[in-house]
Chain A
Amino acid sequence: MTAASDTSVSIQDLSLNFGAVTVLETLNLDVADGEFIVLLGPSGCGKSTLLNCIAGLLDVSEGRIFIKGKNVTWEEPKDRGIGMVFQSYALYPQMTVEKNLSFGLRVAGTPKEEIAKRIARAAEILQIEPLLQRKPAALSGGQRQRVAIGRALVRDVDVFLFDEPLSNLDAKLRAELRVEIKLLHRKLQNTMIYVTHDQIEAMTLADRIAVMKGGVIQQLDAPQTIYNRPINRFVAGFLGSPAMNFVDGRLEDADGGWRFAAEDIKIPLGTYDFAKPPAPGPVTFGIRPEHVSLNSGTGWPFSIAANVEVVEPMGSDTLVWLKLAQQNFSVRVTSERTPKNDEAVTLGFDPMRASLFDTATGTRI
């Protein structure tokens, strides 16, 4: 393997064990220069651990880490050219905002004029100039997180690492700062690696998302690809809110093509884009609630009828719950077309939008 000099961050065969527990398993990840990568996964999947390894806060058990073409596996955090933003902000409580920003530079012995220049620039970018003389205790959550980002900014680093930076904020602030981080990335064009368990953050921010589970990257792709063509059932279920519908059934070889069957439901798959050559057997049929329509006529090559069980109005649209082959199934409809409880409806969808998974292994077919 070559020393990946054309990438910003390159992780090669990285493993990490705590005693007998394997947290990361021979993990490989190449991040292009200026790319925004989001590590997404449930808690305990190793995403924060991976970030701490990149930052140099944890020693790795196996493998190498390159940043800007330099092997930094044994380097101290400060020598890696990284800046890190933490979930709890981690501002030094006894220092003013200005001292917080300049701490790293003062430790490194940067000249005073240079420090002042860099703080002025960071404060302008993040619009925290009026706060410079305040202590962290006198700041709101959003302001604190901005200062935390500024602390990484002043150090003029190549790579920004974000460890769930918005998780401590309320929903409204989170949405605001999300946009600001995206703007910041457009302005700075730095490489950013961002850890989150929030799929909305991942979808909105990332150039590419790495969905992680059990210390392994399940899928690394552009957000739309991950959303539309999840590589396995875990990825399919983790992304999307409300979650994708799954119906267990069988793949059958009918005359003139493949079809999915569960009890009395038969769905000809027609144009479905198989990921590998299909074979008859148990499969899980998945489709997102927004890709299903209610009472949309008889143009579909199948007919599925069901009764509405529960209706969940969510403002902009409504989630309709029903039972399909005795399994829960949700449909997202616009608020104007909401059916009533117990109403009989017919379902329609394009099989091309569906995902088929091997029931036993969970991989995409």
Chain B
Amino acid sequence: MSMADIIAQTSPAAGAGARQGITGPYGPKPRRMISRRNVFLYGTLFVMAVYYLLPLYVMIVTSLKGMPEIRLGNIFSPPLEITFEPWVKAWSTACTGLNCDGLSRGFWNSVRITVPSVLLSIAIASVNGYALANWRFKGADTFFIILIVGAFIPYQVMIYPIVIILREIGLYGSLSGLVIVHSIFGMPILTLLFRNYFASMPEELFRAARVDGAGFWGIFLRIMLPMSLPIFVVAIILQVTGIWNDFLFGVVYTRPDTYPMTVQLNNIVNSVQGVKEYNVNMAATILTGLVPLIVYFISGKLFVRGIAAGAVKG
């Protein structure tokens, strides 16, 4: 058999004419759009989506209605008359206990709690993780185990001791006290996160930098940090949403004028005097949830890009 014969036999698509002589299955297997598998798959997805989106729909619709319309009781019907009054009220005039300046005060309190807590905890935890992964000092493993155990101790156990500690150092009720508490409680999980990320980096890179004469901070700032965007994005998402959504520490360690947004929201929704203003409550809830929502939407994109950038092998 000559070479040409073999080629002709093994590649029937070589000429258009060759295809006519072929019977039986050829090329990609045909797939029906409406198969049992597809119906089941997309049907489940649709049901799940509705299940999760329906409450949000009800909240938005209710927040745009006036009180008389809400009293009709048709919670699924769209508003007949769209009004932004509840949103304005929730933001600036709703009463929470002593003050009647709405959620705006809580919003700014939450910003002043979240931003420094996130920065401080990530700054410390990244150095922690780097030291644990790359500079295996004596007792590093013991230290790490103690830190991880810290992640499993229930918060309730520590609340009262921390109240006393904060009182003794004069930070009880202040925003900086809460910032310290959040930073400490973020430490175990963040350190674990950073340690594992840095440990997964090639060790030879670290050694090469040492031979090149870079020290502890030189290697961290000039070699490790530029390579760790993805893990920083993950840490920021984790911390921003976690601290913003925190209620327990906020209610325990702050005073009414320094309450974070979540605590204020609770006070608006659970106020016992007067009529329940469902539209204002809904608007206030959406406003409070907006920050984590925005973080997810923005950083989701960044996250994927960060992963892709980090995956390029050097």
Residues of A within 8 A of B (CB): 52, 55, 57, 76-78, 82-84, 86-94, 103-104, 107-108, 136-137, 151, 155
In angstroms, how far is the closest chain A Cβ from the Cβ of B16? Answer: 40
Residue of A nearest to B229 (CB): A94
Question: Whose C-beta in chain A lies nearest to the C-beta of B212?
Answer: A104
- Sorted nearest first, the 4 A-B pairs with minimum C-beta distance are A93-B314, A78-B213, A104-B212, A90-B208
CA distance in complex: A136, B211 (Å): 19
Q: Give residues 224-239 of B contacting A (CB, 8 Å).
A: 226-227
State which of B204, B214, B223 has its C-beta within 8 Å of the C-beta of A87: B204
Contact A88 B213 (CB under 8 A): no
Q: How far is the CA of A76 from the CA of B226 in the complex (A)?
A: 25
Distance in Å: Cβ of A134 to nearest Cβ of chain B:
12
Q: Is B205 an interface position by the 8 A CB rule?
A: yes
Given contacts A104-B213, A136-B314, A137-B312, contact A92 B204 (CB under 8 A): no
The CA of A83 and the CA of B202, in the complex, are separated in Å by: 19
Instruction: Decide: A84 and B211 in contact? CB cutoff 8 A.
Output: yes
Interface string of B273-294 (1 = CB under 8 A from A): 0000000000000000000000
In the assembled complex, which residues on chain B have CB atoms less than 8 Å from the CB atom of A136?
Answer: 314
B209, B212, B218 — most chain A CB neighbours (10 Å):
B212
A/B interface sample: 24 pairs, CB < 8 A: A52-B207, A76-B213, A77-B210, A77-B213, A78-B210, A78-B213, A84-B211, A86-B208, A87-B204, A88-B202, A88-B204, A90-B205, A90-B208, A91-B208, A92-B205, A93-B312, A93-B313, A94-B227, A94-B314, A103-B222, A104-B211, A107-B212, A108-B213, A137-B312
Q: Per a CB cutoff under 8 Å, which of B202, B204, B207, B212 touches A103?
A: B212
* B207 pairs with A57, CB closer than 8 A: yes
* Residues of chain A within 8 A of B214, CB atoms compared: 103, 107
Contact A137 B212 (CB under 8 A): no
Measured in the bound complex, the distance between the Cα atoms of B214 and A364 in whole Å is 48
Across the interface, name the chain A residue whose C-beta is closest to B210. Answer: A77
Which one of A84, A93, A107, A155 lies within 8 Å of B218 (CB-CB)?
Answer: A107
Q: How far is the CA of A91 from the CA of B209 in the complex (A)?
A: 9
Residues in A whose Cβ lies below 8 Å from that of B222: 103
A169 to chain B, nearest CB (A): 15
What would 17 more interface pairs be, CB under 8 Å, given A84-B208, A94-B314? A55-B207, A57-B210, A76-B213, A78-B210, A84-B207, A88-B204, A90-B204, A90-B208, A91-B314, A93-B227, A94-B227, A103-B212, A103-B222, A137-B312, A151-B208, A151-B212, A155-B212
A85 to B, closest residue via Cβ:
B208
Q: Could you tell me if B212 and A78 are in contact, using CB atoms closer than 8 angstroms?
A: yes
Bound-state CA distance A135–B202 (Å) is 17
Bound together, the chains give a CA A52 to CA B202 distance in angstroms of 16
Q: Would you give the shortest CB distance from B14 to chain A, in whole angstroms?
A: 32
By beta carbon, the residue of chain B nearest A107 is B213
**Bound: A180/B222 CA distance, A:** 31
Q: State in angstroms the CA–CA spacing of A87 and B207 once bound together.
A: 12
| List of A residues within 8 angstroms of B218 by Cβ | 107
How far is A55 from B226 in the complex, measured between Cα atoms in Å?
26
With both chains docked as a complex, state the minimum distance between the C-beta of B166 and any C-beta of chain A, in angstroms.
41
A residues in contact with B312, CB < 8 Å: 93, 137
Contact with A along B177-220 (1 / 0, CB 8 A): 00000000000000000000000001011011111111000100
Indicate if the CB atoms of B211 and A137 lie closer than 8 Å.
Answer: no
Chain B, residues 303-314, CB within 8 Å of chain A (1/0): the string is 000000000111
Give the distance in Å from the alpha carbon of A92 to the alpha carbon of B204 in the complex.
Answer: 10
| Nearest chain B residue, comparing its CB with the CB of A109 | B213
> Please, which residues of chain B bring their CB within 8 A of the CB of A91?
208, 314
Cα–Cα distance between A94 and B202 once the two chains are bound (Å): 14
Q: Output the nearest chain B residue to A88 by Cβ-Cβ distance.
A: B204
Residues of A within 8 A of B210 (CB): 57, 76-78
A352 to B213, CA, bound (A): 53
> In whole angstroms, what is the CA distance A352 to B101 when docked?
103
* Residue in A closest to B214 when the chains form the complex, CB atoms: A107
B227 touching A78 by the CB < 8 A rule? no
Bound Cα distance A244, B222 (Å):
51
Shortest B206–chain A CB gap in Å is 8
Of all chain B residues, the one with the shortest Cβ separation from A94 is B226
Q: Smallest CB–CB gap between A98 and chain B, Å? A: 14
Q: Which residues of B contact A151 (CB under 8 A)?
A: 208, 212
Once the chains are docked, how many angstroms separate the CA of A91 from the CA of B313?
A: 10
Say which residue of A83, A86, A93 sits within 8 Å of B204 (CB atoms).
A86
**For the complex, what is the distance from the CA of A87 to the CA of B204, rounded to whole Å?**
8
CA distance A89 to B207 in the complex (A): 11
Q: Which residues of A contact B313 (CB under 8 A)?
A: 93, 137
Contact B211 A83 (CB under 8 A): yes
Given the complex, which residues of A lie within 8 Å of B209, measured CB to CB?
92, 103
A92's partner among B207, B211, B213, B223 (CB-CB below 8 A) is B223
Q: What is the distance, in angstroms, from B220's C-beta to the closest C-beta of chain A?
A: 13
A103 to chain B, nearest CB (A): 5
A92 partner residues in chain B, CB cutoff 8 A:
205, 208-209, 223, 314
- Tell me which of A52, A78, A83, A151 has the highest count of chain B C-beta atoms within 10 A of its own C-beta: A78
Chain B residues with Cβ below 8 Å from A83 are 211
Tell me the bound Cα distance from A270 to B56 in angstroms: 98
Least Cβ distance of B266 to chain A in Å?
45
User: CB-nearest residue of chain B relative to A157?
Assistant: B211
Of all chain B residues, which has the CB nearest A57?
Answer: B207
Contacting residues, chain B, for A77 (C-beta < 8 A) = 210-211, 213
Contacts of B223 in A (CB 8 A): 92
How close is A210's CB to chain B, nearest CB, in angstroms? 22
Complex Cα–Cα for A44 and B212 (A) = 26
Closest-CB distance, A154 to chain B (whole angstroms): 10
- In whole angstroms, what is the CA distance A83 to B314 when docked? 20
Contacts of B211 in A (CB 8 A): 55, 57, 77-78, 82-84, 104
User: For residue B208, which residue of chain A has the nearest CB?
Assistant: A90
Alpha-carbon distance between A206 and B208 when the two chains are bound, in angstroms: 24
Q: Which residues of B contact A78 (CB under 8 A)?
A: 210-213
Q: Which residues of B contact A137 (CB under 8 A)?
A: 312-314
Q: Does the CB pair A90–B207 fall under 8 Å?
A: yes
The answer to whether A90 touches B213 (Cβ under 8 A) is: no
Bound Cα distance from A90 to B219, whole angstroms: 13
